[in-house]
């Protein structure tokens, strides 16, 4: 098996209303890639949020009493805390500088995934703007998949990824937040290992494994590589949603 991850060159700074399908197809053409059945396009969450105009100006946010209290406890900007609360279904943990929540999309993350980095040019007075996650990343991925499949005539997958921390390790890794046309989990239970033992519990988080690999290629600061073309994904494509990857609350030992 050979897995090839190729960042598309020349992706411009994305603005609200930009056609991501055209941006990606133009990048594929510049790289002289001919799409094949089974190819996957991995997108950084930030360009999806930007195209969907998920910007918020902190100067236009009025903190609630709950936000003011939590901001005092965590030493965070009350306006940002207000947005975190709006984007979350519940607050799970807090400490100075960090609020861990269950996002309204169902996954657990810090600060509801709201980002201040690579949002706007500070020299242009854009340091008061933040970026929310896409309203419905699965829908965004699905619509983009349809657009790319229609243009190419091929069966493709689309993955939207973001960088999240983990409860038991330091550092962030890329994870899936929107999936279309590819598996989230791959069930290997009952498959024999190299010595004939049949696996009992193994399920592979294939979408998150690919998200982490693509995130490594994208970079985290000024690399300007928010789209990665993937060829050689080792599992059959199928249509799922992010829910396939989310651990039920009753099985979550960290809550």
Worst-scoring range by mean pLDDT, 45-59, 151-165, 239-253?
239-253
Residue 123 has pLDDT above 60, yes or no: no
pLDDT tier for residue 189 given thresholds of 50, 70 and 90? confident
User: 132 is written with which tokens?
Assistant: 């929310």
Q: What are phi and psi of 34, to 5 degrees?
A: -105, 115
Distance set, CA 71 to CA 63, 84, 99, 100, 110 (Å)? 9, 11, 10, 13, 14
pLDDT at 126: 64
Length of the chain: 255
How far apart are the C-alpha atoms of 91 and 1, rounded to whole Å? 42
pLDDT at 188: 78
Predicted structure pTM score: 0.92
Secondary structure (3-state) at 26: helix
Residue with structure tokens 């400490």? 95
Query: What confidence category does residue 125 fall into, taking pLDDT thresholds of 50, 70 and 90?
Result: low
Domains and CATH numbers, the chain: 4-49+136-246 (3.30.1330.100), 55-131 (3.90.1660.10)
Q: Locate 56 and state its tokens.
A: 């918020």
Quickly count: other Cβ atoms within 10 Å of residue 207's Cβ: 29
Q: Which of 28-42, 119-133, 147-161 has the lowest mean pLDDT?
A: 119-133
DSSP, residue by residue, 12-74? PPP-TT--HHHHHHHHHHHTT----TT-EEEEEHHHHHHHTT-EEEGGG----HHHHHHHHHH
**Whether 184 contacts 207, CB under 8 Å:** yes
pLDDT in tens, 17-49: 999 999 999 999 999 999 999 999 999 999 999
pLDDT tens digits for range 191-243: 887 888 887 888 889 999 999 999 999 987 667 899 999 999 999 999 999 99
C-alpha torsion angle, residues 66, 67, 71, 74 (rounded to 10): 70
List all residues 6 or more positions away from 107 whose beta carbon is below 8 Å from its beta carbon: 164, 175, 177, 242, 246
CA separation for the pair 87, 213 (Å, rounded): 27
- Distance, in Å, from the CA atom of 102 to the CA atom of 90, rounded to the nearest integer, reads 5
Question: Residue 39, SS3?
Answer: coil
Is pLDDT of 121 > 60? no
pLDDT, residue 87, reads 97
- Residue that is written with structure tokens 């703007």 in the block: 129
């Amino acid at each position: 098996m050979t897995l090839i991850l190729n960042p598309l060159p020349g992706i411009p700074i994305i603005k609200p209303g930009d056609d991501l399908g055209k941006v990606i197809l133009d990048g594929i053409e510049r790289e002289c890639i001919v799409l094949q059945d089974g190819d996957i396009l991995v997108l950084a969450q930030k360009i999806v949020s930007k195209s969907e105009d998920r910007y918020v100006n902190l100067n236009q946010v009025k903190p609630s009493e709950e936000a003011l209290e939590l901001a005092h406890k965590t030493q965070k900007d009350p306006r940002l805390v207000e947005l975190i609360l709006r984007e979350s279904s519940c607050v799970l943990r807090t400490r100075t500088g960090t609020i861990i929540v269950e996002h309204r999309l169902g996954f657990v993350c810090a600060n509801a995934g709201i980002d201040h980095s690579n949002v706007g040019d500070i020299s242009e007075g854009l340091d008061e703007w933040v970026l929310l996650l896409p309203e419905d990343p699965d829908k965004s991925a699905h619509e983009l998949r349809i657009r790319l499949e229609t243009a190419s005539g091929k069966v493709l997958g689309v993955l939207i990824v973001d960088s999240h921390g983990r409860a038991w390790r330091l550092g962030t890794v890329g994870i899936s937040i929107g999936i279309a046309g590819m598996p989230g989990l791959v069930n290997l239970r009952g498959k024999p290992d190299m010595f004939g033992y049949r696996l009992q519990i193994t399920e592979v988080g294939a979408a998150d494994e690919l998200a982490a690999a693509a995130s490594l290629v994208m970079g985290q600061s000024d690399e300007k590589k928010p789209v990665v073309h993937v060829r050689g994904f080792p599992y059959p494509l199928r249509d799922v949603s992010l829910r396939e990857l989310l651990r039920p609350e009753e099985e979550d030992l960290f809550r």
